[in-house]
Amino acid sequence: MFAGPQTLLVDWAAGPSNPGSGAETYRVSFYLAHYVKPYIVLYAYDHSKQQGYLYVPGKEDQSYRQTYRLSSAGVEGHWFRALPRWEDIVRPMIEKQLTIS
What confidence tens digit (pLDDT) does each residue in 10-48 have? 888 888 999 988 899 998 888 777 777 777 788 999 989
**Nearest 10 degrees: Cα torsion 41, 52, 20, 42:** -10
Q: Which residue has the higher pLDDT, 4 or 72?
A: 72
For residues 38-62, average pLDDT? 84
Q: What's the chain's average pLDDT?
A: 78
The pLDDT value given to residue 44:
94
Are residues 67 and 40 in contact, defined by beta-carbon separation less than 8 angstroms? yes
Query: Residue 45 and residue 18: Cα distance in Å, rounded?
Result: 11
The pLDDT value given to residue 5:
44
The pLDDT value given to residue 4:
47
CA angle 2, 7, 85 (to 5 degrees): 140
- Helix (H, G, I), strand (E, B), or coil: what is residue 70? helix
Half-sphere exposure of 86 (CA within 13 A, CB side): 22
pTM of the model: 0.74
The pLDDT value given to residue 67:
55
The pLDDT value given to residue 72:
55
Cβ neighbors of 30 (< 8 A, separation 6 or more) are 38, 39
